């Protein structure tokens, strides 16, 4: 079993996400944080990059975020995980204990799981505050994969005990912050991603932005949401091709209008 190291966040406070956030009584916040994995495609033997993004981060920010990514290791191999723009808070330089505990994250090849964690012992000015890419996952499609194979990538709780020695399996994604002697935890909503094996991404049904094989107002809404916030409301590559349907290059409000016309039978 081979372990690789990747820079993810301030290891100086991973004890916060692995210990404190696990057994100190928690207070539930009303806010919901979105974690979204992009859907990509790559040919057999080709490289891919999957983006894992965070959105709707509450004003108080996130002090620790800990989850795992499950994937089909028969189809893809993950080579690296790198920190995204959303993690560039300056915490690594401000956290004085980082000199004792290096920044890293690890995964075991062949198990189909990547553990991802970010945390800091620094004050709230260094917490996660901005929506955007949390990590970028890079790898290759295995040589034995076939065109049309899909490696789903799911956001799941990290596989570990709730805390060291508890004997109880963790069933939650750690996302929140400490406030005095309390731990405040946010609700987390996840959107899974995938890597589809194939040389080219081809368009499907014109106007079918959400790729559910029909064209209706839901597709127009998907387009408008994508325009407003591509991180929070991503479209698949096929969905982008389907959505760009008004004859003008690029996905715009005109495409949403065209989709409504298609739905109404007047286009």
pLDDT in tens, 162-176: 777 778 888 889 899
User: What CATH number corresponds to the domain at position 37?
Assistant: 2.60.40.680
Asked if 190 and 218 sit in the same domain, the reply is no
Element (H, E) at 226: helix 217-228
Contact 23, 164 (CB under 8 A): no
| Final residue in a domain of this structure, among 170, 196, 222 | 196
Q: Which has more confidence, 82 or 245?
A: 245
Asked if 155 and 90 sit in the same domain, the reply is yes
User: What CATH number corresponds to the domain at position 243?
Assistant: 1.10.1330.10
User: Which structural domain range is residue 255 located in?
Assistant: 201-264
Of 51-60, 75-84, 230-239, 240-249, the range with the lowest mean pLDDT is: 230-239
Q: Compute CA distances 137 → 34, 47, 83, whole Å.
A: 18, 11, 9
Q: pTM for the whole thing?
A: 0.69
Asked if 137 and 247 sit in the same domain, the reply is no
Helix (H, G, I), strand (E, B), or coil: what is residue 148? coil
Q: Which has more confidence, 13 or 193?
A: 193
Asked if 115 and 226 sit in the same domain, the reply is no
Cα–Cα–Cα angle for 204, 208, 213, nearest 5°? 70
Rounded to an integer, what distance in angstroms lies between the CA atom of residue 150 and that of residue 136? 19
Q: How many domains does the chain have?
A: 2
Asked if 175 and 218 sit in the same domain, the reply is no
Asked if 136 and 77 sit in the same domain, the reply is yes
Asked if 112 and 230 sit in the same domain, the reply is no
Q: What is the DSSP letter of 36?
A: E
| Final residue in a domain of this structure, among 196, 211, 246 | 196
Q: Please, which pLDDT band fits residue 126 given cuts at 50, 70 and 90?
A: confident
Asked if 170 and 225 sit in the same domain, the reply is no
| Final residue in a domain of this structure, among 172, 196, 220 | 196
Q: Which has more confidence, 93 or 171?
A: 171
Is 58 a residue whose pLDDT tops 50?
A: yes
Asked if 94 and 138 sit in the same domain, the reply is yes
Asked if 139 and 9 sit in the same domain, the reply is yes
Q: Please, which pLDDT band fits residue 35 given cuts at 50, 70 and 90?
A: very high
Asked if 167 and 258 sit in the same domain, the reply is no
Rounded to an integer, what distance in angstroms lies between the CA atom of residue 42 and that of residue 21? 37
Asked if 177 and 122 sit in the same domain, the reply is yes
Q: What is the DSSP string of 181-234?
A: TEEEEEEEEEE-EEEEE-S-----STT-TT-SSS-SHHHHHHHHHHHH-TTTS-
Q: Please, which pLDDT band fits residue 254 given cuts at 50, 70 and 90?
A: very high
Percent of the chain with pLDDT over 90: 43
Element (H, E) at 92: helix 91-94
Contact 236, 193 (CB under 8 A): no
């Amino acid at each position: 079993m081979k372990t690789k190291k990747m820079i993810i966040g301030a290891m100086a406070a991973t004890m916060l996400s692995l210990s404190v956030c696990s057994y100190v009584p928690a207070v539930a916040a009303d806010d919901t944080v979105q974690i979204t994995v992009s859907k990509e495609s790559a040919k057999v033997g080709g490289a891919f990059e999957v983006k894992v993004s965070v959105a709707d981060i509450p004003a108080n920010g996130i002090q620790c975020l800990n989850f795992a990514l499950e994937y089909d290791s028969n189809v893809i191999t993950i080579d690296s995980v790198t920190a995204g723009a959303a993690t560039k808070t300056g915490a690594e330089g401000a956290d004085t204990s980082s000199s004792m505990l290096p920044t890293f994250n690890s995964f075991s090849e062949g198990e189909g799981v990547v553990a991802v964690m970010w945390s800091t012992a620094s004050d709230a000015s260094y917490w996660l505050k901005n929506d955007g890419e949390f990590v970028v996952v890079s790898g290759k499609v295995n040589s034995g994969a076939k065109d049309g194979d899909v490696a789903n990538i799911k956001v799941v709780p990290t596989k570990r005990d709730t805390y060291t020695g508890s004997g109880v399996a963790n069933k939650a994604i750690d996302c929140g912050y400490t406030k005095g002697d309390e731990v405040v935890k946010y609700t987390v909503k996840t959107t899974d991603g995938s890597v589809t094996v194939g040389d080219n991404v081809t368009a499907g049904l014109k106007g079918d932005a959400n790729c559910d094989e029909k064209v209706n107002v839901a597709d127009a809404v998907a387009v408008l949401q994508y325009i407003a916030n591509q991180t929070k409301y991503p479209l698949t590559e096929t969905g982008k091709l389907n959505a760009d349907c008004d004859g003008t290059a690029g996905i715009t409000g005109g495409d949403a209008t065209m989709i409504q016309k298609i739905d109404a039978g007047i286009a």
